[in-house]
Chains A and B, each alone.
Chain A
Amino acid sequence: MKKLLKILCAAVTLCVILLSLGGCWSADEISHKAIILGISVDFADTPEKYLVTAQIARPSQLKASSADGENAYINISSEGVGVQAALHGFETQLSREIYTGHMELIIFSEEIARSGLTPVLDYFYRSSEARFSTPVIIAEGRAADLLDIQADLEQMPVSSILGTMSNQDSDIIMSGTTMGDLLREMVTEHSAVTLALFRVNGKRAAMEKAAVIKGDKMIGSLTIDQKQYELLAGGEYDEGVQVCKIADGKVASFRIMKCVTKHNLKYENGQFSADISVNITGQISGITFGGEEYTIRAREDLEQILRDFITRGINDMFSATKEINADIIGFNEMLRRKYPRDSKSLLENWDDNYRNFPISVSVAATLTGTGAVRERVK
């Protein structure tokens, strides 16, 4: 009996302690929440105000939407001096409490990105509900328009945009940069990060460029091809397709199966430099030239084509980033880690020094198998 009493006392004490952490008063029914799927932020027409548009799920319509023609979401907008104030405005329009715990996408207009993201991102960083793993994208033109696109295969525009990004991801064009990545880059001096740049094309969203963000501002953009070489040079490329244009309109395409990138930073004779070696293994997936020409081309030639093509691509990408002064690979951080003392003076003025930072690229390509062959090798 004494033992039972002791256990009972311990249980009651624990319950009391736990009740200070949370109790039934902090319970919240899912069906009483307005689940926000994505948020877009634009400058409002009123000066110094933001226009925040939220896409809110209508769970009851999720299954029936196609049948009765009603959308599985609603978009609502509110203006405010900050994101918080605008979100507060939603509460006057909605019957339910807004919930950002499952927010899947944040969209900023290019205009906001160019003027600086800190004032708008601050709310999301401090919010207890929002997650650091939420992808952030930039919209050419009005960000709210992206929430209004035709979703086609998906039920909601946000899912459609996310699907486009992850779909591209597997084919290695764009990896989704998240809120957490953005924050990490923002606190790292002098380096830059790329975000997907979407444009509304008719009623559909198209991802055609990558926005380069340095500090908290957008300083320029890369083409999708350049973005691809950034991933290759940065070691984030895994597998994908490379279409190499050869003279006279001839095209050879390759499927890259494996890609290993190594960065080697050097400090010789008071001069810093970087060697990037890319080791590619792939297969031939298609050649538009055949017959005579094909038969005489040995595999080594095709490897040479691929090698040259990728080397040229990476070098072009570095030229473009040097032009806008954006160290998107993060050499400054690598130098700081490898040569903490010697690199100090170089890094102090990295913005200028990056333009002249020597980067040499060497690519090794190995083709395994013949891939799709139209004619037999004689």
Chain B
Amino acid sequence: MFQTAEENLNAIAAIFRDDSDFVAREFQLPSGGSGAVVFIDGLASPEIINDFILKPLMNDAPISIGEAAKLDTIEKAAEVILDGDTVVFLDGFTTAAYFNTKGFPSRTISEPQTETVLRGPREGFTESMRTNTALLRRKLKTPDLRIESLRMGKRTRTTVCLCWLDSIAAPDLIDEVRKRIDTIDVDAILGSGYVEEFIEDDPLSPFQTIGYSEKPDVVAAKLLEGRCALIIDGTPFALTMPFLFIENFQSPEDYSIRPLSASFLRLIRIISFPVTLTLPALYVALVNFHSELIPTALLYTIAAASEGTPFSAPLETAVMLLIFEILREAGIRLPKPTGQAISIVGALVMGQAAIEAGIVGAPVVIIIAFCAVASFVSPTVSDAANLMRWVLLLLGATMGGFGILLGVLSIYILLASTQSFGAMYLHPIAPLSLKELGDTVVRIPMWMLKTRPSALRPQDKNRRSDDPKPDFSGGISPYGAEQ
């Protein structure tokens, strides 16, 4: 750094050259000499700069801003102003000072679009990393919560926060995540997917091995089980790891509603997965290879519907499935009002018209429609299911039931051999851990949920003490005190 503010200003201006949002304001100090403040217009708050930096400096008063520090180099000064801070150069100092004046626009906290709940908390993460860590901190008011900041991306210099609970998460898990993050060599981190692909165990597997959530309560619950989370600046999705297969079927709603209803809904979600995966393939295999397995009355219905249709069952199913995939993609990509129009055109007009025109049979449309609805039940696993469905359809159409069996077994082997940050993906089903099935296929009452998942190797294994739930049956009576 240089002795005069002007020289320092020239040096930093040389870095930003003619950038229109780079602002440098020179001023004279009442005590003599000159100074300069530099910041990025839009990232820094002009009110804070005017009222709490410029005004005191010009009136020889102390600057009252909480976060401030000294800087030694021009490069560092350039880095901090890109974060929205303001740097002050003064004549006669070979160091500069920076003040936290971050004031960039960000979205307000709103209900997440991807994880809606009926009874749970409704706030969701935003694109601002600091807001997100604050939301998480609000859920976990304990000094145990560690939030470690890292910078990633050579050009984007994105801040990524690694969060975990010190007394619960396994230390080797944190070390492993840190190690994997250190290996990331990329010029830009523009979303959570960029990080995910670099650190996950098997990037080519159709099944995700890192979880994501937009909800601070979900992330807090995962941290409490012994996982760690990555909050990435610029995206409302926090990554959680390790990720188990069963998490695809767990919804935050499960913990807000009664255990029996939650268990029933979870069963529905679990059953929907094999249904959406295999239904088109099973239909084709039954119709083409094993028609003796179809109940006679149903056989007549299917035969009546497919009579006169020009395509064979596999082709009919494949075409309808392709149309569904196109419609789904169009529905997601288009703006909301247009997206709805597409669904109506797709579902009503095309489906109905295709049946009436005798191009496809009604059973195929029903199968594909049901399969689509079932795939929406567990959104996190639907991407994998959408892909595997095609493979199974191909196997079912070429080899019938044997083919489907082969496909399903392969998927099972793939799932059973997958690992996520040292945890077996199918835990606690394979390897089987009977004790931990309470929060998998069913959801047992909270007071029975005593331990954390052992696959995550938590330091503190117990969620609560072993004491039984107090019995309230002898308490206040509607019939008054006993005689």
Seen from chain A, the residues whose Cβ lies within 8 Å of a Cβ on chain B are 4, 7, 11, 14-15, 18-19, 21-24, 26-31, 33, 35, 57, 59-60, 62-63, 99, 101-102, 104, 129, 131
Q: Is the CB of B287 within 8 A of A29?
A: yes
Hey, which chain B residues are within 8 Å of A63, CB to CB? Answer: 304
Of residues 333 through 356 on chain B, the ones whose CB sits less than 8 Å from some CB of chain A are none
Q: Is the CB of B291 within 8 A of A60?
A: no
Known contacts A29-B313, A30-B299, A35-B300, A23 near B398 by CB under 8 Å: yes
**A153 to chain B: closest CB distance in Å?**
15
**B383 to chain A: closest CB distance in Å?**
20
Q: Is B399 an interface residue (CB 8 A)?
A: yes
Q: Is the CB of A18 within 8 A of B402?
A: yes
Q: What are 24 residue pairs bridging A and B, where the CB atoms are less than 8 Å apart in the complex?
A: A4-B204, A14-B406, A15-B399, A18-B406, A21-B402, A22-B289, A22-B400, A24-B314, A24-B397, A24-B398, A27-B289, A27-B314, A27-B400, A30-B291, A30-B306, A31-B303, A33-B303, A59-B307, A63-B304, A101-B292, A102-B291, A102-B292, A102-B296, A102-B299
Known contacts A4-B204, A59-B300, A59-B303, A21 near B399 by CB under 8 Å: yes
Q: Is B42 an interface residue (CB 8 A)?
A: no
Q: Is the CB of B287 within 8 A of A30?
A: yes
Q: What does DSSP make chain A's interface, helix, strand, loop or mixed?
A: mixed
Q: Is B35 an interface residue (CB 8 A)?
A: no
Expressed in whole angstroms, the Cα–Cα distance for A43 and B304 within the complex equals: 34
Q: Is B167 an interface residue (CB 8 A)?
A: no
Hey, which chain B residues are within 8 Å of A14, CB to CB? Answer: 406
Hey, which chain B residues are within 8 Å of A59, CB to CB? Answer: 300-301, 303-304, 307
Q: Return the chain A residue nearest B398 by Cβ.
A: A24
Hey, which chain A residues are within 8 Å of B289, CB to CB? Answer: 22, 26-28
Q: Return the chain A residue nearest B309 by Cβ.
A: A31
Q: Is the CB of A18 within 8 A of B399?
A: yes
User: Which of B288, B299, B410 has a CB less than 8 Å from the CB of A29?
Assistant: B288
Q: Is the CB of A62 within 8 A of B304?
A: yes
Hey, which chain A residues are within 8 Å of B306, CB to CB? Answer: 29-31
User: Which of A21, A35, A101 has a CB less than 8 Å from the CB of B303?
Assistant: A35
**A268 to chain B: closest CB distance in Å?**
51
Q: Is B302 an interface residue (CB 8 A)?
A: yes
User: Which of B287, B300, B312, B397 has a CB less than 8 Å from the CB of A62?
Assistant: B300
Of residues 18 through 63 on chain B, the ones whose CB sits less than 8 Å from some CB of chain A are none
Expressed in whole angstroms, the Cα–Cα distance for A102 and B204 within the complex equals: 45
Q: Return the chain A residue nearest B292 by Cβ.
A: A101
Hey, which chain B residues are within 8 Å of A62, CB to CB? Answer: 300-301, 304
Expressed in whole angstroms, the Cα–Cα distance for A339 and B314 within the complex equals: 59
Expressed in whole angstroms, the Cα–Cα distance for A101 and B295 within the complex equals: 11
Hey, which chain B residues are within 8 Å of A101, CB to CB? Answer: 291-292
Q: Is the CB of A30 within 8 A of B303?
A: yes
Hey, which chain A residues are within 8 Å of B303, CB to CB? Answer: 30-31, 33, 35, 57, 59
Q: Return the chain B residue nearest A64 by Cβ.
A: B304
**A163 to chain B: closest CB distance in Å?**
13
Expressed in whole angstroms, the Cα–Cα distance for A21 and B397 within the complex equals: 14
Hey, which chain B residues are within 8 Å of A7, CB to CB? Answer: 414
Expressed in whole angstroms, the Cα–Cα distance for A46 and B313 within the complex equals: 43
Hey, which chain B residues are within 8 Å of A31, CB to CB? Answer: 303, 306-309
Report the interface size class on chain B: 20 to 34
Expressed in whole angstroms, the Cα–Cα distance for A30 and B293 within the complex equals: 12
Expressed in whole angstroms, the Cα–Cα distance for A129 and B292 within the complex equals: 8
**A300 to chain B: closest CB distance in Å?**
48
Q: Is the CB of B400 within 8 A of A29?
A: no
Expressed in whole angstroms, the Cα–Cα distance for A22 and B399 within the complex equals: 6
Please list the 10 inter-chain residue pairs (A to B) with the smallest Cβ-Cβ separation, ordered nearest first.
A59-B304, A101-B292, A59-B303, A27-B288, A31-B306, A24-B398, A30-B303, A31-B307, A102-B296, A59-B300
**B285 to chain A: closest CB distance in Å?**
9
Chain B, residues 381-403, CB within 8 Å of chain A (1/0): the string is 00000000000000001111011
**B107 to chain A: closest CB distance in Å?**
41
Hey, which chain B residues are within 8 Å of A29, CB to CB? Answer: 287-288, 306, 312-313
Q: Return the chain A residue nearest B290 by Cβ.
A: A101
Expressed in whole angstroms, the Cα–Cα distance for A31 and B402 within the complex equals: 23
Expressed in whole angstroms, the Cα–Cα distance for A11 and B395 within the complex equals: 11
Hey, which chain A residues are within 8 Å of B313, CB to CB? Answer: 29-30
Hey, which chain B residues are within 8 Å of A19, CB to CB? Answer: 398-399
Expressed in whole angstroms, the Cα–Cα distance for A374 and B232 within the complex equals: 84
Hey, which chain B residues are within 8 Å of A33, CB to CB? Answer: 291, 303
Q: Return the chain B residue nearest A103 by Cβ.
A: B296
Chain B, residues 312-346, CB within 8 Å of chain A (1/0): the string is 11100000000000000000000000000000000
Chain B, residues 195-212, CB within 8 Å of chain A (1/0): the string is 000000000100000000
**B85 to chain A: closest CB distance in Å?**
46
Q: Return the chain B residue nearest A128 by Cβ.
A: B292
Expressed in whole angstroms, the Cα–Cα distance for A7 and B300 within the complex equals: 41
Known contacts A4-B204, A30-B287, A57 near B300 by CB under 8 Å: yes
- Of A4, A35, A102, the most chain B CB neighbours within 10 A belong to A102
**A59 to chain B: closest CB distance in Å?**
4
Hey, which chain A residues are within 8 Å of B204, CB to CB? Answer: 4
Expressed in whole angstroms, the Cα–Cα distance for A11 and B414 within the complex equals: 12
Expressed in whole angstroms, the Cα–Cα distance for A99 and B299 within the complex equals: 12
Q: Return the chain B residue nearest A21 by Cβ.
A: B402
Known contacts A30-B299, A30-B302, A35-B300, A60 near B307 by CB under 8 Å: yes
User: Which of A11, A26, A27, A28 has a CB less than 8 Å from the CB of B410?
Assistant: A11
Q: Return the chain A residue nearest B304 by Cβ.
A: A59
**B299 to chain A: closest CB distance in Å?**
6
Expressed in whole angstroms, the Cα–Cα distance for A62 and B298 within the complex equals: 12
Hey, which chain A residues are within 8 Å of B309, CB to CB? Answer: 31
Of residues 236 through 272 on chain B, the ones whose CB sits less than 8 Å from some CB of chain A are none
User: Which of B299, B312, B406 has a CB less than 8 Å from the CB of A35?
Assistant: B299
Expressed in whole angstroms, the Cα–Cα distance for A81 and B410 within the complex equals: 50
Hey, which chain A residues are within 8 Å of B308, CB to CB? Answer: 31, 60
**B405 to chain A: closest CB distance in Å?**
9
Expressed in whole angstroms, the Cα–Cα distance for A132 and B287 within the complex equals: 22
**B330 to chain A: closest CB distance in Å?**
31
Hey, which chain B residues are within 8 Å of A99, CB to CB? Answer: 291
**A65 to chain B: closest CB distance in Å?**
11
Hey, which chain B residues are within 8 Å of A22, CB to CB? Answer: 289, 399-400, 402
Hey, which chain A residues are within 8 Å of B406, CB to CB? Answer: 14-15, 18
**B292 to chain A: closest CB distance in Å?**
4
